[in-house]
Structure 1
Amino acid sequence: MRAIRFHETGGPEVLRYDEVDRPEPGPGQVRVKVTATGLNYIETYHRSGLYQMPLPCTPGSEFAGTVDALGAGVNGVALGDRVATASGIGGYAEYALVPADKLVHVPAAVELDLAAAVMLQGMTAHYLVYSTYPLKAGETCLIHAAAGGVGLLLVQMARRIGARVIATVGSEAKAELARAAGADAVILYREEPFAPRVRELTAGRGVDVVYDSVGKDTWEGSLDSLRPRGMLVSFGNASGPVPPISPLVLSAKGSLFLTRPTLWHYLATPEELAWRAGDLFTWMANGDLHVRVDRRFSLADAADAHRALEGRETAGKVLIVP
């Protein structure tokens, strides 16, 4: 089969289109014939070496497809089942493996490519607004990168809850996407500092929570946008890692809360996985949640997909299709 691998860390050019053996499922594993794989920022961290991986490495944990083979001891899954996962192994390939307890069945009303597009980013948005900071109707949140894959889903979920959404984006075209998703106010961060504008929009109070996937470039402004005892949820490093911070800064700026969550701690049990994925699929089937696929790249063009993502050229989800 064909797969993308990197044998050394570096830029997108290290991604190779290799011929490899089709993987065999071990005990408790399922092999999936991949329909589509979701591209996520964490794979650029793996490829660059920011997050170390054994080499050679086939990236990709989020994909959807049909069950092709079962390992020993697998129950509740049959050949041909439509499934999706955010915890797979080697998704940049024609076939990939996944632990059976980390996959979910995809209902017939949801297209497999859209299931691949929503698993990781959709469940990230879900845990952020329902668990990390349980957003309530009437509260105000600030969402950075609001026209990105997670951002557009976050905006929709926050509005569904009944919260007020202030969004930051990098261009007027992306502002239109954020508004269409339900953002109440949109700030073009390249044209004006966002923290003073947030204060103006909240009559000086600040927001209840900031959902920040950008990292280094927005860090200080995010702190300055919060109300006293507000929470900064830092869940990504798109512009680089956040620098070290003294806890006294949180005290001085209003007894703020800071958390740096990751999805896997919010998928701790099969029940939690089923809850989050089930909500997503139900909302998608009902038309209450719209998943925007920005573009699709062939497997052979995975390096171009990484370049587009890192160049902030995308608005919505990017898929890699075998």
Structure 2
Amino acid sequence: MARTVRFHEHGGPEVLRLEDVEVGEPGPGELLIRVDAIGLNRAEVLFRGGHYIEQVRRFPARLGTEAAGVVEAVGAQVTGFRIGQPVSVVPAFSMNDYGVYAERAIVPAAAVVHRPEGLDAVAGAAVWMPYLTAYGALVEVGGMRAGDTVVLTAASSSVGLAALQIARRVGAVPLATTRTGAKKDALLEAGAAEVIVTDEENLVDRVLDLTGGRGAEFVFDAVAGPGVVDLAKVVAPDGTLFLYGALSGETTPYPGFELGMPAMNMRTYTVTRELTAHPERLRRAEAFVSSGLRTGAFRPVVDRTFPLDEIAEAHRYMQAGAQVGKIVVTVDH
């Protein structure tokens, strides 16, 4: 038995329950992981509330796609892993099938990466979702290069901070946006070339001024909604506006016709569908991120940790949106 977070109905953080659940043994292609730390993601808040891109198929339901721990058992047909090995679980499966909010969890071996030496469990649970998301969109799909400019919304999120570091690593220029000035200094310290405070400055004028009128080759947007019209105005010719989140909760228009049909690409991006589900892409991404960790170019930012017993409070904290970086839940054994 292992203490496992489940919910029996949609709702707020109060529906989360910590229950004793039989774990079982890993089947073919699976690993049993002793979970030491869990990385929280916005997707879990949406899944719990019934607002995610994938609906809950059955109750009680589980949560979690990102964790760090140690291999406890290896299923048939699994190679490359051994008992006692430190690993991280990456988002590469449906929460209808697996969930890592638990003391121990069975996961697909294809969703497990080797944890780089020197990376502790908390950092190991904080690094993969943010860096894989940003790398997959901007580098793997977008081909971001030295000299490119990228505008980052929700830049103080774990994905936004990872995108700042990745842009710096390839020689691109990251421009961070934030609604108020409260996080400006933190974003500059994190590596933003400039920070645009959208409650105080005109986003379009500021980006065009900073790029000499050219615009940004990439916009990496977690908000969506009506704001994409202004974001589209700052995309350079043949540039790309990536939508990887929908924090606004509002309908997202297609601004191409309203803006006179500019030469602009606008597309959604989901890491589980476009990167972690493809072994070769995941292999390249793992090598890229591991290299950045070894050299010190990548430093996952952890805002706060919570014990597993306080999982509901951790979800409340995430929904408040005040964090800078990753929220991690630790598991005592």
TM-score range, shorter chain: over 0.9
Where does residue 124 of structure 1 map in the other structure?
A: 133
What does residue 234 of structure 1 align with?
243
Instruction: Tell me, yes or no, if the aligned pair for 1:224 and 1:253 is still in contact at 8 Å.
Output: no
Aligned match of 2:269:
261
TM-score norm. by structure 2 comes to 0.90
Q: Which residue of 1 aligns with 2:193?
A: 184
Corresponding residue SS for 1:218: helix
In 2, distance between residues paired with 1:306 and 1:215?
22
Contact 2:219–2:235, Cα closer than 8 Å, also in 1: yes
In structure 1, the residue matched to 2:287 is: 278
Deviates more, 1:287-296 or 1:252-261: 252-261
Q: Cα RMSD over matched residues?
A: 1.8
Residues matched between the structures, number: 321
CA shift digits 1:278-302 (9 cap, x unpaired): 2212211221111110001111212
Rounded Cα–Cα distance in structure 2 between residues aligned with 1:239 and 1:162 = 30
How much has 1:227 moved relative to structure 2?
Answer: 2.3
2:311 is the alignment partner of 1:310: no
1:56 and 2:66 are equivalent in the alignment:
no
The answer (yes or no) to whether the contact 2:228–2:255 under 8 Å persists in 1 is no
Deviation per CA, 1:101-127: give whole Å up to 9, x if none. Answer: 221111322222212111111111111
More moved, 122-131 vs 59-68:
122-131
- 1:288 aligns with one of 290, 294, 297: 297
Deviations 1:228-250 (A, max 9, x none): 33210011112225424375346
In 1, Cα distance between equivalents of 2:258 and 2:26: 49
In 1, the alpha carbon distance for the partners of 2:160 and 2:33 equals 28
1:13 corresponds to? 14
Gaps of 5+ in 1: none
- Residue matched to 2:33: 32
Question: Residue 132 of structure 1 contacts residue 261 of structure 1 at CA under 8 Å; is this kept in 2?
Answer: no
The percentage of counterpart residues that share the same residue type is 36
Query: 2:23·2:106 contact (CA, 8 Å) conserved in 1?
Result: no
Contact 2:232 2:255 in 1 (8 A): no
1:68 is aligned, of 45, 66, 72, to 72
The residue type paired with residue 76 of structure 1 is: G
Give the superposition deviation at 1:217.
5.4
The amino acid that maps onto 1:41 is R
1:170 match:
179
What is residue 210 of structure 2 aligned with on the other side? 201
How far apart, CA to CA, are the structure 2 residues paired with 1:76 and 1:139?
38
- The question of whether the paired residues in 2 share the 8 Å contact of 1:37 and 1:92 is answered with yes
Q: CA deviation at 1:19?
A: 2.1
TM-score by length of 1: 0.93
Note the C-alpha offset of 1:314: 0.7
Letter in 2 for 1:18: E
Per-residue CA distance 1:257-277 (angstroms, 9 max, x = gap): 111011122234333222212
**What 5-or-longer segments of structure 2 have no aligned partner?**
none
Task: Give the partner amino acid of 2:183.
Answer: K
Q: Is the 8 A contact 1:206 1:227 kept in 2?
A: yes
Q: Secondary structure at the match of 2:209?
A: helix
1:247–1:226 distance in 2 versus 1, CA, 3 Å? closer
